[in-house]
Chains A and B, each alone.
Chain A
């Protein structure tokens, strides 16, 4: 799958995250993300800005573009209105099972730990 066929999601890992490397492989547990669920940015610099504050690294996820767009239409992935449209998103806990399945469909995901 070429990068043009995928949407890349970035996440500055928050300090309370228990297993950032495991999440990009196994998915996000609803119990860990009550409320609005985890936030992701398609605008990479948003995630980097959080990563520089938190100092816990960055997660990089890939979802096939048609699947990403379908999940947005279905309301699994919601726009984060703190930023201009199309830049930042969140996944409420009820949609995490579908989201976790979607992040298995693209090229492999990565956790980039913070610099030493």
Chain B
């Protein structure tokens, strides 16, 4: 069994719409579609073929199915749009577009391809899919690609 956090090389055995299956030292490896690339990949069969050798980062182990759950995109930090956001000064205003308005959060897409959640109640007004909103970063997990946003001008507390 390989250690979580290791980078391994594996061979593609089959491709499904939801992920790529690979083999490494007799063990099955799966890369789910969101972990394949930092950019949306609509059809994995367009970008990977059976027999391809890929380097993957081991994320976790599925003990029930005896599968390695891995990521390709985390080995390509140069393409990570969340890393780009981490270089911005706190309070930097970004213009995003509402892409979903489901549940208690708005999902906001930023021009660099990153997306994050903006709590509806924080905005103080109604917003619909397609609306532009000015936001700033409130919390960011670069490797996970997780982003929480706040309305522009609200995330940074006054410094006394």
Contact = CB atoms under 8 A, between A and B. Distances in A.
A80 B101 CA distance: 26
B130 A115 contact: yes
Nearest to B101: A112
B102 A15 contact: no
B62 A81 contact: yes
Chain A at the B interface: SS class: mixed
B17 A16 contact: yes
B127 interface: no
Interface in B115-160: 115, 117, 129-130, 145-146
B102 A49 contact: no
B42 A48 contact: no
Interface of A: 3, 8, 10, 14-16, 39, 44-46, 48-55, 58, 60, 81-82, 84, 110, 112, 115-116
10 contacts: A49-B34, A49-B145, A55-B40, A58-B102, A81-B62, A82-B69, A84-B60, A110-B102, A112-B100, A115-B97
Smallest CB-CB A-B distances: 9 pairs: A49-B34, A81-B62, A53-B33, A115-B99, A112-B102, A81-B64, A53-B40, A52-B40, A60-B102
